[in-house]
Structure 1
């Protein structure tokens, strides 16, 4: 008896750029940048690649749009009107840290395309708060760059650490393994690293990240005019 070939389920919503970008984010989260192809995206959306090209010209544009969507969510405006610039910077930094932790590919995309809208949006938001701190104009670029590089560097490294763990590995077990390896290093060559091996087991990634932000903010505001910051 002949069997019918099962047709793909028809999509329930009209195809739009927003739906395409949302599906791209899901695909990137699942299989990474290497698995993001228009064929795979078309299968996810139950459509043809040609229909996607009507909305997005190519993979580079799609990656930029997906990054922009994730960053936009991370930078969503806070309704708190009495927050200090330092508070806003901390919240912004933590939002990006969590976004890159949830979407590891975003960190790579931001550093790879510094002139694209996602990175410019982050730079602009940080810059407004640095200006609000009354940092002298000549020092603003350096201050914003220090914050931005720290955020992307630490958040990206945290995401990379998570990806390096074997599937199903508990974070506490992973840190314990690293800590034990550190504690067995040569005591003369790695005296400092051996000394903080125990701290590695106990530390909280987000808390340490924010502590680093506070150190940078302390440096930025150390020599501000009276009443500033």
Structure 2
């Protein structure tokens, strides 16, 4: 599975902006893990056997070499990107609840239950939950992933002095 990601991202390093290269690699990895949530658990487990995971780590790392960062910053950056991508993709790739799969309720109806529970909470005790309830009700998982990735990459760009 990771071999497909390596093929898809083979020219990502040719982009003039290393941050955009990281984004392209991260999005391809996200899509692969979201389609196969089990992949996240095996990604870097045994690099002697699973060399494609190591190759993907290297591909991201080579983009970090293009940035003005210390070795520690580069290591943290690659680890953060991979951890975020794999974690969010594995979470979002989980099988929907039984009632959604069975067609008894739609995804929207399922989310609406949670939003109703959130709105029933004390607004003074849970001001943030009330503030984002409408966003949660209508959110798009892929858009949410890309927004989180943007936050990480913006921080990386700033740390490398490119902000």
TM (norm. structure 2) is 0.80
Name the CA distance, whole Å, in 2 between partners of 1:93 and 1:173. Answer: 31
- 2:33–2:90 Cα contact (<8 Å) kept: yes
CA distance in 2, matches of 1:199, 1:165: 21
1:97 shift after superposition: 1.4
Quick check: 1:95 aligned with 2:28?
yes
Normalising by structure 1, we get a TM-score of 0.59
Secondary structure, in 3 states, of the residue corresponding to 1:139? helix
SS in structure 1 of the partner of residue 63 of structure 2: helix
* Paired position in structure 1 for 2:4: 73
Q: CA deviation at 1:78?
A: 4.5
Query: Map of 1:134-145 to 2, 5 A cutoff?
Result: 134-145=68-79
Alignment partners' CA distance in 2, 1:191 and 1:208: 21
Where relative contact order (Cα < 8 A, 6+ residues apart) is larger, the structure is: 2
1:157 equivalent among 67, 72, 91: 91
Q: Which has the larger radius of gyration?
A: 1
Q: Indicate conservation of the 8 Å contact 2:111/2:137, yes or no.
A: yes
Aligned residues, how many?
Answer: 155
Unaligned runs of 5+ in 2: none
Q: Does 1:180 align with 2:116?
A: yes
Which residue of the partner structure matches residue 43 of structure 1? Answer: none
**What does the per-residue CA deviation read over 1:116-143, in whole Å, with 9 as the maximum and x for residues that have no partner?**
4243223112111111223222311111
Unmatched 5+ stretches in structure 1: 1-69
1:198 partnered with 2:134:
yes
